[in-house]
Amino acid sequence: MGDAAGMMNVRDLIEEIAKALVDIPEEVSVREVRGEQVTVLELKVAPSDLGKVIGKQGRTARSIRTLLGATGMKLSRRFTLEILE
């Protein structure tokens, strides 16, 4: 897998994970904002699903961020996750 393919797939990966967690998957959207150093992934879900992507004490969100960190190391790129309200 090349870097360009990897970049496209990170946004899709986060979208698929979020859709699997929520009750209203059609409300899930992930926007990729690419900076020089960091790629920010802005995750938006239905207000009623916010707790599902954050998890108890933020555990689910932390797990997603850990996955992004590992992916970023593989792709030599930093990713951050912003969960929009």
Residue ranges of domains in the chain: 3-84
Beta partners for 78? 38
Whole-model pTM: value is: 0.87
Who wins on pLDDT, 20 or 5?
A: 20
Q: Inform me whether the pLDDT recorded for 52 exceeds 80.
A: yes
The three-point CA angle 3-63-11 to 5° equals 35
Output the CATH code of domain 3-84. 3.30.300.20
Who wins on pLDDT, 6 or 59?
A: 59
Pure H helices in the chain: 3-21, 50-54, 59-75
